[in-house]
Chains A and B, each alone.
Chain A
Amino acid sequence: MVVAADVLSQLRRGALEYCVLGLLAREERYGFDLVRSLGALDGMVTGEGTLYPLLSRLQKDGRVASTWRESDSGGPPRKYYAITSKGHRALHDFTAEWGRFRDTVDTILLEGTP
């Protein structure tokens, strides 16, 4: 079980940034909202706070852009994240590769399973 948990955490780490890009591809989100959505996904994030450094790196890589905007409720300004065209390309490539990867693993793992 320890081994499985370790492997899963590696897979999660690799896939997480594409889940962020995938959510942002639908619509732009402000940090809190985005982080809570990812945190609510089963088994995807262990500490929600670790998503902020990830967002920061995606922004440095140019796959995500951010803007500060006033919130509707009159509270403090919020930082909104949106996916860039570079992010769209990265997501597109990963989506294709991920499909192949998943199918290959499934072919082996599910072999003989009715």
Chain B
Amino acid sequence: MNSTRLNPLAEDYLGRLEAAARVLPNQDREDLLLELRGHLEAGLAEDASDADVRNLLNDLGSPEEIVAAAALESEAGPPIQRPREHLGAFDESASPWGTFEVLAVLGLTVGTVLIPIVGPVLGLGFAWASPQWTRREKWFATVLTFLPVIALVLGAGVAMNQGPSRPVSNAPLSHLIIGVLS
């Protein structure tokens, strides 16, 4: 914006704020520094005494206090809900989404599109490695994965008599279904 030199006490305060604000995301840090410089510029007359400066700084609170508030705001949305740690613990004990399960669904969905054949095969591998899905669910996933292939083979005979077949497999769709079902 501009770099009017403020009273040394105020500049010193902004320096401390800048140092404390290193933990914040870049954009948040710049906004915060700009706002507080603006605050001091607006609040201090050119001939402000050190006592005036101290009063204004005192009302602002310490740089560390401000940065702590900013860190809370930028990570957690509304200030009252801060369940991060609890969520983590909950994920590991009760959620059906462990590493294997996530990799399985990724392989069977995105993987199918990005690396045909390899993606779904890896996905199935992860699905069978899952400690949380039942054997029945794993068979279901496997059959669903190969369903388009089976359907294509069965349909091939019919299609051959009826002109060009649709070359696009609907595999990704069936994999999405697996994801939802599981």
Partner-B contacts on A (CB < 8 A): 10, 13-14, 30-33, 35-36, 39, 46-50, 52-57, 61, 75-79
Distance A48 CA – B61 CA, assembled complex (angstroms)? 6
- Could you say which of A35, A50, A75 contacts B41, with CB atoms under 8 Å apart? A75
Output the nearest chain A residue to B28 by Cβ-Cβ distance: A56
Q: Is the beta-carbon distance between A31 and B38 smaller than 8 angstroms?
A: yes
Is chain B's interface secondary structure helix, strand, loop, or mixed overall? helix
Distance A79 CA – B65 CA, assembled complex (angstroms)? 23
Chain A residue contacts of B35, Cβ below 8 A: 31, 52, 55-56, 79
- With A31-B39, A75-B41, A77-B1 given, is the CB distance from A50 to B79 under 8 Å? no
Return the CB mask of B10-39 against A: 1 if under 8 Å, else 0: 000000000000000000100110011011
Chain A residue contacts of B65, Cβ below 8 A: 47, 49-50
Closest 6 CB pairs of A and B: A47-B61, A53-B70, A50-B69, A49-B60, A32-B42, A49-B66
- With A54-B73, A56-B31, A57-B77 given, is the CB distance from A49 to B61 under 8 Å? yes
Q: How far is the CB of B74 from chain A (nearest CB, A)?
A: 7
Is chain A's interface secondary structure helix, strand, loop, or mixed overall? helix
* Range for the number of chain B residues in contact with chain A: 20 to 34
- With A32-B43, A57-B77, A76-B4 given, is the CB distance from A50 to B66 under 8 Å? yes
Partner-A contacts on B (CB < 8 A): 1-2, 4, 28, 31-32, 35-36, 38-39, 41-43, 59-63, 65-66, 69-70, 72-74, 77, 79-80
Chain A residue contacts of B60, Cβ below 8 A: 47-49
Chain A residue contacts of B36, Cβ below 8 A: 49, 52
Q: How far is the CB of A3 from chain B (nearest CB, A)?
A: 18
Q: Is the beta-carbon distance between A47 and B66 smaller than 8 angstroms?
A: yes
Q: Is the beta-carbon distance between A53 and B32 smaller than 8 angstroms?
A: yes
Q: Is the beta-carbon distance between A50 and B61 smaller than 8 angstroms?
A: yes
